[in-house]
Chain A
Amino acid sequence: MSEARGGLERASKAIGDLFAAVYDDLTTMALACERELRVARGTKVELTERHLRAIQPAAATFLNRHAFPVAAGIVLGPDLADNNVGAVEWWRRGDSGSTQRIVFNLSREDPGFYDFVTYEWFAEVVSTGKPAIQGPYLDYAGMDKYILTSMVPLSLDGMLIGTAGCDTEVRELETVIMPILRTIPEDAALVSKFDRIILGNSGRFLVGNRVVALPKDAIRCEIPGPELGLQLVAAPRARHV
């Protein structure tokens, strides 16, 4: 069992390093966004939605440094921009190093309304002031994809004004996490803090499922690095057929 524990810890460390690199750069991006917003606002007291466009270079820099996130940007709560509906300034990776702005529908009456304030990546980060990860989830009316959203707090003049972060498609994350998970000889999975499977190394643990009814000899290991509540779970291999 201690051998299994050792393998799991090595894999946890490798996955923790990957997330640490992303979250460190998200914090850097949040600081860069804060600087850009301060410059764009100038002598005005209030931020307007137009000011937000200034964060594009910060988002582009982040996307150029990391291969697997698909989009990055900032989100301000309803009371923090001029229009009372909040703001999503989100930039998607385009062809050959370019970025494209994604338009979100923030009018409550529309069927395509993007109701982000209740999402963990917003509500939790704004209330705790700590980084968070949500997913995998279907980002309906947003990216319209099966993604994970990583967020860190965004401040301006010492005030928490929203979140800064990135989206990662589950299929892209698979390309970096699976090689690590496959070094574990047991059936193993990376799970969110709610025990939702992010990725498993066999057909036993399928992405999106919750981990239920683990056998007694299953082991768990926390992912070090940013406190996102991620864990690895492993259980002696069980064949399905």
Chain B
Amino acid sequence: MGVLNGVQSQVFRPLPDVLRAEAIVDRLSSAITLGLLRQGEQLPVENQLAVMFGVATATVRDALQTLREQGIIEARRGRSGGTFIIGAPRTNLESLRQRLLRLSMAELRDMEDEQVATALAAVRLIIGRAFPHDFDRLERIARTMGEATTPESCVRADMRFHSELAVLSQSERLLATQMRLLTESIEIMWTVLTVEADRDWTMNDHLVIVAALRSRDLIAAERAVREHISRDFYRLVAARLDVLYPIGPTNE
């Protein structure tokens, strides 16, 4: 790659340190909210984090400082010392809303495409691979949504259901893709959906998917998955447009 063309030079422009530290705070906070990192768990040491995130140690230190100030992590001294997760991040509604507003129609549609593609691949594999007790387990997970009383608990229940779909597919790569997709969208989704109005149909959608999988009806499972994801994204699009362009067909 001798001379960079216009697009390429944009790719390689340096990232500002502040943004990188913020990105690390966001990434770790999301992971804790979504249950990927649990309270009591120990974080890797600073040097290791710097290598993993591909940033300077000072940037990691800034990010950890912010998380400490928010009471999310604490440093413990001694032989079994280290940095531990001790608290849950407060949902930063404003930052999640901004993330939604920055997504264009094309990007939202593309996100939906990838989620649908991943979910369709998962249901196909599940029908071929899962055992009846797997469907019992999936149904139990789907029903936990019924007890969710806060947006945060809806996020966790939703997350559990969709990650379990990938788990039951038996594909590590599909699970990795699914986790990336959920991490970027599911918290945003529950800033738009509400517990009262949307929890029950979401759970119902999940149960319809379980029933179709249980009867190993591929066509019904595919339709249920597509309709569920498309309902979610219809709401995301409407919420974004209603804020950015208040007059319009989606606003009541």
User: Which residues of A line the B interface, CB within 8 A?
Assistant: 71, 91-92, 94, 100-103, 136, 143-146, 170-171, 174, 178-179, 181-188, 199-204, 206-209, 237, 240-241
> Quick one: CB contact mask for B200-233 with A, threshold 8 Å, 1 for yes?
0100000000000000000000000000001101
Are B109 and A178 in contact, CB atoms less than 8 angstroms apart? no
State how many angstroms separate the Cβ of B237 from the closest Cβ of chain A: 4
**Nearest B residue (CB) for A204:** B234
State how many angstroms separate the Cβ of A57 from the closest Cβ of chain B: 17
What B residues does A201 contact at CB under 8 A? 241, 248-250
What A residues does B104 contact at CB under 8 A? 170-171, 174
Q: Which of A100, A178, A187, A209 contacts B6 (CB 8 A)?
A: A100
What B residues does A209 contact at CB under 8 A? 109
What A residues does B5 contact at CB under 8 A? 92, 100-103
Are A102 and B6 also in contact (CB < 8 A) when A171-B104, A203-B234, A237-B249 are? yes
Q: A100-B9, A174-B106 are known contacts; what are 5 more A-B pairs with Cβ within 8 Å?
A: A102-B6, A144-B7, A171-B104, A181-B248, A206-B109
Are A146 and B106 in contact, CB atoms less than 8 angstroms apart? yes
Number of contacts between A and B (CB, 8 Å)? 92
Are B106 and A136 in contact, CB atoms less than 8 angstroms apart? yes
What B residues does A143 contact at CB under 8 A? 7
What B residues does A92 contact at CB under 8 A? 5-7
Q: Which of B8-51 contact A (CB under 8 A)?
A: 9
Are B245 and A182 in contact, CB atoms less than 8 angstroms apart? yes
Are A170 and B235 in contact, CB atoms less than 8 angstroms apart? no
Are A240 and B231 in contact, CB atoms less than 8 angstroms apart? yes
What A residues does B3 contact at CB under 8 A? 103
Are B105 and A200 in contact, CB atoms less than 8 angstroms apart? yes
What B residues does A237 contact at CB under 8 A? 249
> Quick one: CB contact mask for B106-120 with A, threshold 8 Å, 1 for yes?
110110100000000
CA separation between A147 and B163, bound complex, in Å?
33
Is B247 in the interface zone, CB < 8 Å from A? Answer: yes
CA separation between A103 and B234, bound complex, in Å?
39
What B residues does A185 contact at CB under 8 A? 248-249
What A residues does B236 contact at CB under 8 A? 203
Q: Which of B154-181 contact A (CB under 8 A)?
A: none
6 A/B residue pairs, CB under 8 Å, sorted by A:
A71-B6, A184-B249, A188-B249, A207-B105, A237-B249, A240-B234
Are A203 and B238 also in contact (CB < 8 A) when A100-B6, A101-B5, A102-B5 are? yes
Are A241 and B7 also in contact (CB < 8 A) when A146-B106, A171-B107, A208-B106 are? no
CA separation between A149 and B201, bound complex, in Å?
41
- The residue among A145, A187, A207 with the most chain B CB atoms within 10 A of its own CB is A207
CA separation between A188 and B105, bound complex, in Å?
14
Are B106 and A182 in contact, CB atoms less than 8 angstroms apart? no
Are B234 and A170 in contact, CB atoms less than 8 angstroms apart? no
State how many angstroms separate the Cβ of A90 from the closest Cβ of chain B: 8
Are B241 and A102 in contact, CB atoms less than 8 angstroms apart? no
CA separation between A239 and B13, bound complex, in Å?
43
CA separation between A4 and B7, bound complex, in Å?
42
**Nearest B residue (CB) for A186:** B249
Are B245 and A102 in contact, CB atoms less than 8 angstroms apart? no
Are A240 and B230 also in contact (CB < 8 A) when A94-B6, A171-B107, A206-B109 are? yes
CA separation between A143 and B8, bound complex, in Å?
10
